[in-house]
Amino acid sequence: MRLDDLAGATVLVLGLGIDNLAALDAVLAAGPGRVLAAVDDPGAASVADRDRMGALDIVLIAAENAIDAGREAGAPLIVLRAPGYPRRGEVCTRLEDAGAVFTTAVDLWIGTHGAARPIVAITGTKGKSTVTALLDSLLDLLGIEHLMGGNIGLAIWAEASNPPPGVPAVIEVSSYMAADAHHAPAIGVLTSLDADHLTWHGSIERYRSDKLRLFTGGEQPPQVVLVDGDDPVALEAMGRTGLVVQAVDPDDGIASAAGARLAERGFPRHLGSNLALAAAAAERLCGLLGIDDAPLGSALLELADTYVALPSRHATIGEYAGVRYIDDALASNPFAAAAALDAVGEVPVTWLIGGQSREVSLGPMAAALALRRSPTLLLGLPDTGEAWCAQLAAPSGSLGSSGTGVGDTAAQPVGLETVAVADVGEAVRIAATRTPEDGVVLFAPGAPTPSRLGTYHERAADFAAAFAALSGG
């Protein structure tokens, strides 16, 4: 999907997230016949959003009325879907049945501007933001002008609505975005492929196919898709696509020394894997641009010496009474949460878990707990935390392998205690009294934040505020 495709069409802007709002000026300039904006509840839209729609002469309607509004226009209907708007929900399903063509702001940008530049697109269940940020830093150290945006929190249309030709772009793509991808990048990166967002996608099979559509949905395939060599599921899935795939081994190659240096600084092993993927992408990009990649080795070492974790990605926010407090609020699925627990090593841990209810297996978290020989205290946060604590503390094989069960392979955890808590603040206060010196308080919930409680940013801020109250900061 390109801006040119919008000329004369009816464009339905479905959802007013930052990506769609940033793309509006370009959409209007493309000459559509009509532009409508739809949200679930127009009355709940912010004053700023309503005012902007009015200033642009865009009619704001209820999403449930979008199909009839599109039919009335009598022109081809193109839906610019906000990434989080449910692609498999009733509204999108009915629009698709009515012949609507779907795109996202990221897809529209890649389709419009991708032919004039090499694009590196990064996706995966976990690690994609970190790889994106690492690649961005590497290119800065190499002095390579580039653009960055996407799911990392930078709307690409706001960053570069009319970018100069030839300047490469690094774009993080979520599964929500990839579900409507029509253009493959020159260089793809797949960090991992676990199970996530199953209620949104509908099934694990659909989740994986939506995720991989970033690489398979375009007319031209990627030149290469770089995959973490330690992720057999991702490698197998990419192998079935027939695309050119390169398995990246973090312990072999140009990034291995830098990865070892990160480990010496106390960062988890999976960061070395992320760095290796970023290095491989930088190396490939240098080749496409005709740039000497000889300085890459020294740039990697410099990055390893100066790296600071992204907010809420296994970031140490401070130490109090000999206990380290780690914010990994973006560990919002059981695989990422288990990796976070593994990364802290064999020290006493107080682990804050739970959040929005989803149909996911706790198997990865149970397996991580079963390997531990140090005391672990689980603090269960709303909505799922109390039930998760009970499930994870249950004897091996008591719950079965389906649904949210732990599965049949987990052993009984050693030294495990559980407490249900009302909120993050209470969890931190309990952790301060129950976590032994030299231990870790780990906020890696394994689930998204329930919508009534805000976003992960807000829950992470609550964690930081509670810590500050302890330490007097």
Q: Where in the chain is the domain with CATH 3.90.190.20?
A: 315-471
Domain 109-306 belongs to what architecture? Answer: 3-Layer(aba) Sandwich (3.40)
Residue 410 has pLDDT above 90, yes or no: no
Name which of 108-117, 213-222, 413-422 the model is least confident about.
Answer: 413-422
For helices 334-344 and 269-289, angle between their N-to-C axes, nearest 10 degrees: 110
Q: Classify 376 as helix, strand or coil.
A: strand
Where do we find the tokens 């999976």? 270
Q: What φ, ψ does residue 314 adopt, rounded to 5°?
A: 50, 45
Q: What pLDDT is stored for residue 223 in this prediction? A: 96
Ordered DSSP codes for 125-185? SSSHHHHHHHHHHHHHHTT---EEEETTTB-HHHH-SSPPTT--EEEE--HHHHTT-----
Q: Where in the chain is the domain with CATH 3.40.1190.10?
A: 109-306
Q: What is the pLDDT of residues 37-67, one digit of tens each?
A: 999 888 888 888 889 999 999 989 999 888 8
Q: What pLDDT is stored for residue 345 in this prediction? A: 86
Nearest to 313 by CA among 303, 327, 332, 333: 327
- What is the CB neighbour count within 10 angstroms for residue 97? 9
Q: What pLDDT is stored for residue 227 in this prediction? A: 97
Q: What φ, ψ does residue 73 adopt, rounded to 5°?
A: -70, -30
Q: What is the pLDDT of residues 127-152, one digit of tens each?
A: 898 999 999 999 999 999 999 999 88
In CATH, 3-103 is 3.40.50.720: yes
Q: What pLDDT is stored for residue 199 in this prediction? A: 58
Q: Where in the chain is the domain with CATH 3.40.50.720?
A: 3-103
How many Å apart are CA 78 and CA 366, to the nearest integer? 44
Beta bridge mates, 189: 122, 226
Q: Does residue 353 or residue 75 have the better pLDDT? A: 353
Q: Does residue 308 or residue 120 have the better pLDDT? A: 120
Whether the link from the prior residue into 383 is cis, omega within 30° of 0, is yes
What CATH number matches the domain at 315-471, 3.65.10.10, 3.30.70.640, 1.10.10.10, 3.90.190.20?
3.90.190.20
pLDDT bin (cut points 50, 70, 90) of residue 409 is: very low
Q: Across residues 92-116, what is the average pLDDT?
A: 94
Q: What is the pLDDT of residues 354-386, one digit of tens each?
A: 998 877 789 889 999 998 989 999 999 999 999
218 CB-near residues (< 8 Å, 6+ apart) = 181, 182, 183, 184
Strands (E), 376-433: 376-380, 416-420
Residue 159 has pLDDT above 50, yes or no: yes
Q: Does residue 449 or residue 200 have the better pLDDT? A: 449
Q: What is the pLDDT of residues 384-393, one digit of tens each?
A: 999 999 999 9
Q: What pLDDT is stored for residue 84 in this prediction? A: 82
How many Å apart are CA 125 and CA 192, to the nearest integer? 5
Q: What are the respective helix, strand and coil percentages of the chain, to the nearest 5?
A: 45, 15, 40
Q: Which one of 173-177, 206-210, 223-227, 413-417 scores highest in mean pLDDT?
A: 223-227
Q: What pLDDT is stored for residue 350 in this prediction? A: 97
Q: What pLDDT is stored for residue 151 in this prediction? A: 86
Residue 341 in tokens: 């627990």
How many Å apart are CA 264 and CA 257, to the nearest integer? 11
Beta bridge mates, 36: 12, 59
Residue 27 has pLDDT above 70, yes or no: yes
